[in-house]
């Protein structure tokens, strides 16, 4: 993304793909087509309505294919957040006869964490499963230890959005269901989709959340996979009979068709995208981990590449405030994130880093860089160079005269 020939234009390097991605140009074209030409309401009987309906149902098949589901098991939502909210509330509300207990991990996305907290205020009980310090890996034994006869739901994310830890959801789900075949298993797979192969049958999960804008699709649309054949309640809205009477409200047709195409491309490109992101991430880490006082948070991808999202890097820098470094990098055109995008701006240390045993200081001196499609080797080298310069600048500022 450099602009040769212009001395004023600054190179910009987007290293925040875990926060969101740029819409794929083919996807953007399709969204536009459905805004301007195929603008019908999918519930209308006439031709323009039928064309919109066809788009929605094609997208449902494309999204289903990305995760090995049946189209009838896919319910479109306004994004990953709504899918997570619905998963928790739909499962708990429909199974009160069994109990009021649910299990989550301590480093879930706020869409799960805050919903669980809200459920506690409504009289439900939540247990946070133990995680391995440093990596955040969850062992089946830890999950079994947290289960009770009245446990209705287990919700554990497939890939963490801050430190990129990949959980063995198939093993966790199998262990839980061996102990209690009726326990419902949900996984937030928003970060996994498009980078880690996902097959709901192989995973054995009942519910799975994904989001379009993390896989080069438009924002404001996502999906909840709901396996056929267990007790699960309708969505959060009351109104029309859309989404087989499970989620009221006129469908976001342009968003849904864009999500569908983005999912199809993601399935096709998964291996290449993962390999590219990994190459960029590893190049970046080799550069910044050479600096004194810079430490990696989470699984070491040079030892266990399969246990970390290929695009995720998260580092702490001794003696430096993450937010200050973030702002310096922003001025240099390098776009990263401190903690998760949703909590930056507030100076709360990341709940994810605290959950894996980081001190408050380490957590507050951390930054996340998440690499993806548009990053090049030159971009990464520029990001490393600016990282080095910014760290030197901030350290001088903190200790003048040294």
Ligand X SMILES: *Cc1c(COP(=O)(O)O)cnc(C)c1O
Instruction: Tell me which residues in 13-42 interact with ligand X (CB under 6 A).
Output: none
Judged by CB under 6 A, does residue 187 bind ligand X? Answer: no
The only residue of 211, 314, 316, 350 in contact with ligand X, by rule CB under 6 A: 211
Based on C-alpha coordinates, what's the Rg of the chain?
Answer: 22
Site string (38-77) toward ligand X, x via CB under 6 A = ----------------------------------------
Output the six-digit token pair for 347: 């100076």
Write each residue from 352 to 391 as x if it is in contact with ligand X (CB under 6 A), else as -, in one continuous string. Answer: ----------------------------------------
The phi-psi region of residue 244 (left if phi > 0; otherwise alpha if psi is between -120 and 50; otherwise beta) is left
Of positions 56, 64, 88, 111, contacts ligand X by CB under 6 A: 111
Q: Is 80 in the site for ligand X (CB under 6 A)?
A: yes
| DSSP secondary structure, 245-272, as one string | HTS-S---HHHHHHHHHHHHHHHHHHHH
Active-site residue among 15, 23, 173, 342? 342
When binding is defined by CB under 6 A, the residue of 30, 67, 185, 188 that contacts ligand X is: 188
Which region, judged by CB under 6 A, interacts with ligand X, from 79-87, 228-236, 259-267, 331-339? 79-87
Is 294 a residue that touches ligand X (CB under 6 A)?
no
Nearest Cα residue to 87 out of 157, 19, 18: 157
Please give the Cα distance from 238 to 284 (Å, whole number).
48
- Among 191, 242, 365, 370, interactor with ligand X by CB under 6 A: 191
- Which of 21, 81, 252, 338 contacts ligand X by CB under 6 A? 81
Nearer to ligand X, 225 or 382 (CB): 225
Candidate residues 59, 119, 131, 157; the one interacting with ligand X per rule CB under 6 A: 157
Which of 53, 98, 109, 278 binds ligand X (CB under 6 A)? It is: 109
310 binds ligand X (CB under 6 A): no
Is 173 noted as a catalytic residue in this protein?
Answer: no
Helix (H) or strand (E) holding 146: helix 140-146
* Site size for ligand X (CB under 6 A): 15
Residues belonging to the chain? 402
222 is a site residue for ligand X (CB under 6 A):
yes
265 CB burial (10 A radius; 0-12, 13-18, 19+): buried
Which residue carries 């470094």 as its tokens? 325
Residue 273 lies near ligand X (rule: CB under 6 A): no
Cα–Cα dist 356/299, whole Å: 11
At its nearest, how many Å lie between ligand X and the CB of residue 395?
A: 32
Residue 190 binds ligand X (CB under 6 A): yes
CB 211 within 8 A of CB 189: no
Going edge to edge, which strands form the sheet with 101-104? 74-77, 222-226, 207-211, 184-188, 151-155, 101-104, 125-128
The residue nearest ligand X at its CB is 80
Q: Name the burial class of residue 188, with classes exposed (0-12), middle (13-18) and buried (19+) by CB atoms within 10 angstroms of its CB.
A: buried
Please identify which residue in 79, 217, 255, 301 interacts with ligand X, judged by CB under 6 A.
79
Instruction: For residues 15 and 161, give the distance between their C-alpha atoms in angstroms, rounded to a whole number.
Output: 13
Nearest to 247 by CA among 213, 276, 223: 223
Instruction: State the DSSP string of 45-71.
Output: -SHHHHHHHHHHHHHHHHHHHHHT--G
Non-local CB neighbours of 295 within 8 Å, separated by 6+ positions? 289, 315, 316, 318, 362
Q: Does 214 bind ligand X (CB under 6 A)?
A: yes
CB of 284 to ligand X, least distance (A): 20
CB of 64 to ligand X, least distance (A): 18
Pick the stretch among 199-207, 211-219, 267-275, 316-324 that binds ligand X (CB under 6 A).
211-219
Active site residues: 342
For ligand X, the binding residues (CB under 6 A) are 79-81, 84, 109, 111, 157, 161, 188, 190-191, 211, 213-214, 222
């Amino acid at each position: 993304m450099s602009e040769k020939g212009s001395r004023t234009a600054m190179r910009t390097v987007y290293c925040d793909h875990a926060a969101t991605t740029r819409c794929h140009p083919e996807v953007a074209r399709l969204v536009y087509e459905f805004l301007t030409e195929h603008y019908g309401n999918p519930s209308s009987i006439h031709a323009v309505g039928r064309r919109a309906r066809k788009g929605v149902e094609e997208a449902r098949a494309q999204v289903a294919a990305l995760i090995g589901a049946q189209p009838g098991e896919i319910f479109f939502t306004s994004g990953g957040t709504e899918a997570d909210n619905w998963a928790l509330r739909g499962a708990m509300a429909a199974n009160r006869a069994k109990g009021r207990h649910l299990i989550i991990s301590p480093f879930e996305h706020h869409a799960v964490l805050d919903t669980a907290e809200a459920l506690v205020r409504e009289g439900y009980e939540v247990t946070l499963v133990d995680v391995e310090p440093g990596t955040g890996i969850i062992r089946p034994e830890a999950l079994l230890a947290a289960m009770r006869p009245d446990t209705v739901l287990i919700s554990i994310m497939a890939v963490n959005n801050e430190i990129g830890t990949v959980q063995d959801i198939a093993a966790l789900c199998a262990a839980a269901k061996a102990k209690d075949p009726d326990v419902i298993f949900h996984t937030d797979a928003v970060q996994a989709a498009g980078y880690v192969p996902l097959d709901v049958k192989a995973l054995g999960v009942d519910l799975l959340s994904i989001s379009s804008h993390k896989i080069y699709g438009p924002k404001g649309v996502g999906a909840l996979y709901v396996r056929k054949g267990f007790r699960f309640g309708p969505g959060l809205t009351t109104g029309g009979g859309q989404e087989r009477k499970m989620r009221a409200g006129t469908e976001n047709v342009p968003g849904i068709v864009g999500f569908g195409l983005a999912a199809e491309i993601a399935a096709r490109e998964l291996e290449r995208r993962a390999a590219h992101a990994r190459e960029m991430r590893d190049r970046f880490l080799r550069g910044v981990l050479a600096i004194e006082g810079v430490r990696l948070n989470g699984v070491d991808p040079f030892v266990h590449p399969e246990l970390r999202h290929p695009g995720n890097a998260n580092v702490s820098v001794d003696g430096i405030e993450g937010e200050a470094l973030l702002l310096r990098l922003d001025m240099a055109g390098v776009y990263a994130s401190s903690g998760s995008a949703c909590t930056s701006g507030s100076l709360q240390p990341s709940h994810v880093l605290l959950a894996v045993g980081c001190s408050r200081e380490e957590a507050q001196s951390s930054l996340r860089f998440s690499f993806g499609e548009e990053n090049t080797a030159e971009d990464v080298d520029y990001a490393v160079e600016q990282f080095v310069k910014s760290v030197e600048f901030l350290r001088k500022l903190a200790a003048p005269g040294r």
